[in-house]
Structure 1
Amino acid sequence: MDKPVDAEVIIIGSGVMGGLIATRLAKAGKSVIIVEAGPRVKRQEIVERFRDSPFKMSLTNMKLQGVGSPYPDLPHVPSTYGDYIQHVGPVKYATRYLRVVGGTTWHFGSALWRMVPNDFRLNSLYGRGRDWPFGYEELEPWYGEAEDELGVSGVDGQDESGQGGVAWPPRSRPFPMPGLPPSYLFTRLSAMLSKGGYHPVLEPNGRATRPWKKRPACAGNNNCNPVCPIAAKYDGSMHIDEALEHGARLLDNAVVVSIEADDRGKITGIRYKKPDGSEHRLTAHHFVLAAYGIESPKLLLNSTSPRYPGGIANSSDQVGRNLMGHTGISMNLMMKEDVWPGQGPTELLVYLNHRDGDFRRDFPSYKIKVRNTVPTADYAASLIQQGVLGTALDKALHRLSARSLNFAIDFETLPLAENRVLPSKTKSDALGIPLPEIYYSVTDYWHAGKTQGLKDFARFAQLLNADVLKIDTQYQDRQHIMGTTIMGDDPANSVVNRHCQSHDHPNLFIAGTSVMPSASCMNPTLTGAALSLRLADYLLNRVRV
């Protein structure tokens, strides 16, 4: 007879992935404990801290990161906006994620894309990267489930391949809500760029366009990063709340330090520390690791023992490896007419002429997006420092706010074994837990994509009759963490199987974007959410927790 346990399922991490799984399991009557390293945050406090901060959006940091972050920086969960992440590779992987209840979706741009069928067969079609162990058709119903759970608004019938043709990718159900209407900026840019064969695509996103569950319709506040002030945008705390309403338990400010397994491979428990340094242990029949793409592998690798000297789930030596992201470049333009960016959400209009095709043998797929932001405080500070005051300041601010544009490109990257996350051997946090150390690089394949992207930038400037102010090719990070606990059918070169189940430990599952074998060029959150719902279904109907 099994010994008594604390819960049927323990979920490590309270972001969107952990929240979705917890909600499905709790609704099915299962006992669930969610363990989160960080604290609960209150929307009104984050909004006020943002409004009161002297650091607003900057030209070099469009998402209000760095010292201006309004989210907590606590000794037991140091902010990723400081020097928490240790960079040792040739390219800085300057990702930023939140360690709070609800996770990084608090500050994400809310773009919620499906991958297209060929993204699942990158190696067999184009000789690059890895294939998934299953195809788009397997995940398609779960994409629909995820869109409903996250309340996605989008344009039905839109060709998301960027070719201006028939609806793509295939869908078995419409979007839950209609898409947001395009602003004047988007309409004007679309008219000008279409002359060069660039077809506008409006991003599916997690902003409500009508009252949805407990969310109001988007009011266009334009500070989705760092926080939606009215909760029209989805964030993971919403599913945590729903899980708690159905009986799940939440332990916040509980930093998991190790996962334990017996000699037969069964996970037997986890150990966590509270901010005061006290250590505690929890047991369950099944465990779901949903701590995102850096904390998840760091925890697995840190869970060493004489039986598992390389850490948990790591017989393949693939834990922490194959780190992917959407390393990108950007361009600032000055228009010769007023186009007024800043109306509506921070992201919506994209161009996808290079989303898929035979070119992927030679260079990666990529997305070009319009950053719909207006860093007025930066403009004003710079002008005042130059001595521009009074009427001249008003005039200059009008021009900069109405005509300055920023375009950014997100490039697909490949799962490279050398790109990896490791626990630091020299630096620890206040609880004595090693900091994450990251080695990251890009190859000639990425640089070939950059060459193509710069051609598009030049064409954009020409079609828009705009002056190029700056082009930044310094490996910009898009905060899309993928690949560090990679999925595959072969236990020798992957961490989890097609069901997101550890090859080494049958009662351990890993949820989220870290299991993805390929990155595509699109934001990965919806794919991670679809995988998480599929995982919850597997737990309930196949594993029968």
Structure 2
Amino acid sequence: MSTESLHADVVIVGSGISGGLIGAQLAKAGKSVLILEAGPRVKRNEIVETYRSSPVKLSLANSKLQGAGSPFPSMPYAPSTYGDYLEQNGPVKYNTSYLRVVGGTTWHFGSALWRLLPSEFKLNSTYGRGRDWPISYDELEKYYGLAEAELGVTGTDGQDESGAGGAPSPTRASPFPMKQLPLTYMFRTLAEKLSAGGYHPIWEPHGRASQPYNQRPVCAGNNNCNPVCPIGAKYDGSMHCDIAESHGAVIMPNSVVYKLEDDEQGRIQALWFKRPDGSGQKVTAKIFVIAAHTIETPKLLLMSKTKHSPNGIANSSDMVGRNLMDTTGISVTMKTRDPMWPGQGPTELLVFNRRDGEFRRNAAQYKIKVRNTAPVAQYTAQLLEEGVLGSELDRRIQEMTAHTLAWAVDFEVLPNPNNRVTLSTKKFDALGLPVPSLHYDLDDYWHAGTELAMQDLNNFTKLLNAEVIKTNMKFENRQHPSGTTIMGDDPQDSVVNRDCRAHDHPNLYIAGTSVMSASSCMNPTLTAAALSLRIAENIQSQL
């Protein structure tokens, strides 16, 4: 394919996990593929060195993204969410942290890769809440297995992921590609102590290699999954971008797509992108895929107002941007009597789920995870402020590191059309494009879930002989956005159909977590990957 012609069989907007997966599958099938990425290409060694050299290292896991703690670039023409890029319209601030670079946000994700439960595809018909998906778990199971193989998922076969302590769920046609990593002292000790109280420890499926896998080395326990795995043992979207390129796909970084054009039959005819200098160019294709992140995808569609689509592309239903969800949560920090020694191995692995049961008629499902981090710099700064110095400073740092546990709870959030992404009318980026404007709120269903979770955390405190030193109930977003181009069978209340193809445009697909019909309390990345492989298969059949 000639980049001068700027035409391809398939043009993909966004080079994150969904764009990379689709591009790789289609390129391997011999199709001409062009992937446009708003941000720059980054190199692992440079990111690691930037982070290593930074005098201040802030924790991505705690959503503190400002300052030198983030090694990733945020370009004026393609800002990431480190500063004040997003416009917040409340009443709940929607903190999120996505990257606009080749490979996308999985560069700094925690690597949790969960399947949804069968019941999570039929929330409304089962519990009278939210929406049902137009597809079932059984329809997606094959693609979950394929996605786990593509991403190299490490997991534990046979455990009950619902957290109820019953039969293994969900049903799997194939085992995990890799067996679980060795468990650290903290994980083993917590599992033992909390199991004695009737809780069911679950080892999180994740994207870190426990054996050499697709040129990835075995996880060395650097405990630096956020913000970047220094050795590439953890999966990230750049890996499938590399595969796509090796099979002939062309990736164009620093290409900010700002407009799509359609004809009177609804077919997308072209898109336009801007370079950092403001110059623009047109791209044509047979099929277009928008995989630009849950916030950026509706922004692009809403900017693309045409004679045939006056409300924006794919927006005859007025649902583009609506139903913004996340796994908004709370956290509790406690000090245990016995040392637990967090900070070795994966940053997350042990969770306690409450995902299914009749309680979901009245309260949100949730998972409780322990953050396996040792923020020594944070503890040191706190102690220095208190005037602690010398050998006492060393003793207190060690004590805090060994005995402090940070628990985080992730809750499902129901789809609500009033929670949405729109275009700012006051704020623009360096290219003159409107920034995303967010409205987000939480309902009684979410608050009822927090009450149940706090009961569990209070039990944890007793079982661990610990004391709570901090509780944060202030709506901590977990960087798992979904829902803004929601999937459904009815074109009146959804944006894409069961194949993730736009109701309004026969040659436009939307990929990523934005199509999810319900959020679940679990990380959405694997579901997005499975849907992306399904999209690639569908496009191949058409081409």
Normalising by structure 2, report the TM-score. 0.98
1:497 and 2:497 are equivalent in the alignment = yes
2:514 corresponds in structure 1 to 514
Q: How many pairs align?
A: 538
1:55 and 2:56 are equivalent in the alignment = yes
What letter corresponds to residue 173 of structure 1 in structure 2?
S
Shift of 1:530: 0.2
1:464 corresponds in structure 2 to 464
Shift of 1:81: 1.1
What letter corresponds to residue 226 of structure 2 in structure 1?
N
Counterparts of 2:47 and 2:257, CA distance in 1: 25
Counterparts of 1:227 and 1:63, CA distance in 2: 15
Aligned-CA RMSD value = 1.1
Q: How does 1:99-498 map to 2 (within 5 A)?
A: 99-352=100-353, 354-498=354-498
User: Would you identify which runs of 4 or more consecutive aligned residues in structure 1 move more than 4 Å?
Assistant: none
1:13 and 2:14 are equivalent in the alignment = yes
SS in 1 for 2:196: helix
Note the alpha carbon deviations across 1:153-194, whole angstroms, 9 max, x for none: 001112111133332110000000001121100111111111
Note the alpha carbon deviations across 1:304-362, whole angstroms, 9 max, x for none: 1232221000000000000010010000000111110011011000001x211111100
Counterparts of 1:166 and 1:456, CA distance in 2: 22
What letter corresponds to residue 454 of structure 1 in structure 2?
M
| Percent of residue pairs identical | 59
Counterparts of 1:123 and 1:234, CA distance in 2: 34
Counterparts of 1:260 and 1:391, CA distance in 2: 67
Is this contact kept in 2: 1:64–1:225, CA < 8 A?
A: no
Counterparts of 2:214 and 2:481, CA distance in 1: 29
Is this contact kept in 1: 2:369–2:407, CA < 8 A?
A: yes
Is this contact kept in 1: 2:314–2:504, CA < 8 A?
A: yes
SS in 1 for 2:140: helix
Counterparts of 1:326 and 1:200, CA distance in 2: 20
Counterparts of 1:307 and 1:513, CA distance in 2: 27
Is this contact kept in 1: 2:58–2:70, CA < 8 A?
A: no
What letter corresponds to residue 471 of structure 1 in structure 2?
T
Shift of 1:64: 5.4
Counterparts of 1:69 and 1:217, CA distance in 2: 25
Counterparts of 1:108 and 1:252, CA distance in 2: 21
What letter corresponds to residue 254 of structure 1 in structure 2?
S
1:34 and 2:35 are equivalent in the alignment = yes
Shift of 1:54: 2.4
Structure 1 stretches of 5 or more lacking a match?
none
What letter corresponds to residue 139 of structure 1 in structure 2?
L
Normalising by structure 1, report the TM-score. 0.97
Counterparts of 1:404 and 1:49, CA distance in 2: 28
SS in 1 for 2:493: coil
What letter corresponds to residue 385 of structure 1 in structure 2?
E
What letter corresponds to residue 481 of structure 1 in structure 2?
P
1:79 corresponds in structure 2 to 80
What letter corresponds to residue 307 of structure 1 in structure 2?
H
Counterparts of 1:73 and 1:284, CA distance in 2: 29
SS in 1 for 2:457: helix
Q: 1:63 to 1:220 in 2, by over 3 A?
A: farther
Counterparts of 1:161 and 1:386, CA distance in 2: 44
Counterparts of 2:411 and 2:94, CA distance in 1: 14
Note the alpha carbon deviations across 1:48-68, whole angstroms, 9 max, x for none: 11112222235x963552222
Shift of 1:5: 7.0
SS in 2 for 1:468: strand
Shift of 1:518: 0.7
Counterparts of 1:5 and 1:477, CA distance in 2: 38
Counterparts of 2:359 and 2:502, CA distance in 1: 34
What letter corresponds to residue 191 of structure 2 in structure 1?
S
SS in 2 for 1:187: helix
Is this contact kept in 2: 1:56–1:64, CA < 8 A?
A: no
What letter corresponds to residue 285 of structure 1 in structure 2?
K
Counterparts of 1:57 and 1:307, CA distance in 2: 47
Note the alpha carbon deviations across 1:243-273, whole angstroms, 9 max, x for none: 0000000110000011111121110001000
Is this contact kept in 2: 1:36–1:100, CA < 8 A?
A: yes
Counterparts of 1:166 and 1:356, CA distance in 2: 13
What letter corresponds to residue 218 of structure 1 in structure 2?
C
SS in 1 for 2:40: coil
Counterparts of 1:307 and 1:537, CA distance in 2: 29
Counterparts of 2:435 and 2:523, CA distance in 1: 26
Counterparts of 1:61 and 1:239, CA distance in 2: 24
What letter corresponds to residue 488 of structure 1 in structure 2?
G
Is this contact kept in 2: 1:153–1:206, CA < 8 A?
A: yes
Structure 2 stretches of 5 or more lacking a match?
none
Is this contact kept in 2: 1:409–1:453, CA < 8 A?
A: yes
Shift of 1:79: 2.5
Is this contact kept in 2: 1:63–1:226, CA < 8 A?
A: no
